[in-house]
């Protein structure tokens, strides 16, 4: 069900908006009215049983959680195949001897590290004309970083998504704890939207109580819309989303849970670098079309190569926001910095091995 909340000065205006955006089939799920500083207000949550294409563009004003277009997966698969064929044709064009020895060693290393051919080709093109440039210069352009800190993430609502067992719930707790330690004054609400996981529930509830945070549960679009509405007084709302089955996609989950309607929200994709490249490509198809926030890399302590960090940044265009490197919940997550990524990639050094000043893991 597609769920969306509309607000306006009175019932008539809000009904008009619902009709215009969702059509005559929309059902009113809840209605609230009141008198605020700016006069009377009315808020209605409406639902629609079928997937509505027209919501994509206007759902949250920027269409970032738009449902996948028909045939998206098929198209993606075909494009990957075309890319592979193109790469075979173009690979002889990577004449490493055109690069400086330092650049050549770096590119050879990145290939062994699992960085994809298309990315290497791009790097080669950028380095060829600048023999003195370090490989970190083009890499910094290709892999963006946006640390998990309030100044970089002013959105009020943050959700974590990702494959089963990737570390979503642990990451959410760590994100909440890091917020709490930096900003003790901040009011935080943790929302468990993954009703399938009993132990996740216990963990979230326990840490919320322990750290003076509110705890809520939402198992479907309607309850999540209600939770989001009544949690407006919180400075930050952190949502733990369920994992996706093989045939599922994030945009479908987003529609089911009514995330398209959520305002001021960022979705962070939680991944571990140890997934195989084909699996990563499959996650890209499932998630990247709807996750418009960042990638959080978990289980760095279990991985032996880190090329995936570069590959996913390039193919999704998402910045890396945080890194986690241990099964515990304390001192195992740090806001990402580019220098940490390069140490990880080129030296296999975890952020906890050499914490920079001011970047202590939470």
Ligand X SMILES: Nc1nc2c(ncn2[C@@H]2O[C@H](COP(=O)(O)OP(=O)(O)OP(=O)(O)O)[C@@H](O)[C@H]2O)c(=O)[nH]1
List contacts with ligand X (CB under 6 A): 162, 164-170, 194, 197, 200, 243, 298-299, 301-302, 324-327, 332
Which whole-number Å values give the CA distances from 173 to 101, 105, 164, 267, 295, in the listed order? Answer: 45, 40, 16, 15, 16
Task: Answer yes or no: are the C-beta atoms of 113 and 306 closer than 8 Å.
Answer: yes
Question: CA-to-CA distance for 356 and 336, rounded, in angstroms?
Answer: 11
Compute the least distance from the CB of residue 240 to Mg ion, in Å. Answer: 6
Compute the least distance from the CB of residue 336 to ligand X, in Å. Answer: 13
Choose between 92 and 198: whose C-beta lies nearer to ligand X.
Answer: 198
Give the burial class of 318: count Cβ atoms within 10 A of its Cβ; 0-12 exposed, 13-18 middle, 19 or more buried: buried
Phi and psi of 160, rounded to 5°?
Answer: -110, 135
Query: Which of left, alpha, beta for 133 (phi over 0: left; psi -120 to 50: alpha)?
Result: beta
Q: Which residue is nearest to Mg ion (CB)?
A: 169
By CB under 5 A, is residue 343 in contact with Mg ion? Answer: no
Question: CA-to-CA distance for 298 and 150, rounded, in angstroms?
Answer: 20
Alpha helix ranges (H) inside 113-230: 117-128, 136-142, 168-182, 198-210, 221-230
Choose between 68 and 324: whose C-beta lies nearer to ligand X.
Answer: 324
Compute the least distance from the CB of residue 217 to ligand X, in Å. Answer: 14
Residue 290 interacts with, from ligand X, Mg ion, none (CB under 5-8 Å by kind): none
Compute the least distance from the CB of residue 163 to ligand X, in Å. Answer: 7
Compute the least distance from the CB of residue 165 to ligand X, in Å. Answer: 4
Which residues, other chains included, contact 88 with Cβ-Cβ below 8 Å and sequence gap of 6+? none
Choose between 2 and 324: whose C-beta lies nearer to ligand X.
Answer: 324
Q: Which of residues 151-210 bind Mg ion (CB under 5 A)?
A: 168-169, 197, 200
Choose between 4 and 168: whose C-beta lies nearer to Mg ion.
Answer: 168
Residue 103 interacts with, from Mg ion, ligand X, none (CB under 5-8 Å by kind): none
Expressed in angstroms, the distance from the first to the final Cα of the chain is 38
Choose between 224 and 345: whose C-beta lies nearer to Mg ion.
Answer: 224
Residues lying near Mg ion in the complex (CB under 5 A)? 168-169, 197, 200
């Amino acid at each position: 069900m597609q769920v969306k909340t509309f607000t306006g000065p009175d019932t008539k205006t809000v009904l008009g908006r619902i009709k215009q955006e969702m059509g005559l089939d929309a059902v009113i799920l809840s209605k609230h009215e009141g008198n605020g500083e700016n006069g009377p207000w009315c808020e209605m949550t409406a639902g629609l049983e079928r997937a509505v294409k027209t919501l994509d563009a206007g759902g949250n004003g920027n269409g970032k959680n738009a449902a996948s277009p028909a045939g998206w997966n098929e198209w993606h698969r075909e494009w990957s195949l075309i890319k592979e064929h193109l790469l075979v044709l173009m690979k002889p064009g990577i004449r490493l001897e055109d690069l400086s020895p330092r650049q050549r060693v770096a590119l050879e290393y990145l290939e062994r590290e699992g960085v994809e051919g298309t990315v290497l080709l791009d790097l080669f093109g950028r380095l060829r004309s600048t023999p003195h440039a370090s490989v970190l210069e083009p890499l910094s352009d290709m892999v963006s970083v946006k640390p998990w800190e309030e100044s970089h993430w002013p959105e009020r609502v943050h959700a974590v998504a990702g494959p089963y067992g990737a570390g979503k719930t642990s990451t959410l707790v760590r994100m909440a704890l890091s917020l709490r330690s930096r900003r003790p004054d901040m009011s935080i609400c943790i929302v468990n939207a993954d009703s399938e996981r009993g132990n996740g529930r216990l963990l979230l509830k326990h840490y919320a109580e322990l750290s003076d945070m509110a705890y809520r549960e939402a198992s479907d679009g309607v309850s999540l819309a209600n939770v989001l509405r009544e949690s407006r007084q919180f400075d930050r709302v952190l949502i733990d989303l369920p994992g996706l089955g093989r045939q599922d996609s994030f945009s479908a989950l987003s529609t089911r849970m009514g995330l398209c309607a959520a305002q001021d929200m960022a979705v962070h994709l939680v991944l571990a670098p140890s997934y195989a490249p084909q699996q990563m490509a499959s996650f890209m198809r499932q998630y990247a079309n709807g996750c418009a926030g960042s990638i959080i890399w978990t289980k760095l302590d279990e991985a032996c190569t880190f090329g995936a960090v570069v590959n996913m940044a390039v193919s999704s265009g998402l910045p890396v926001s945080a890194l986690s490197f241990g099964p515990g919940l304390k001192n195992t997550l740090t806001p990402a910095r580019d220098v940490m990524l390069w140490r990880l990639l080129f030296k296999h050094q975890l952020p906890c091995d050499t914490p920079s000043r001011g970047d202590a893991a939470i």
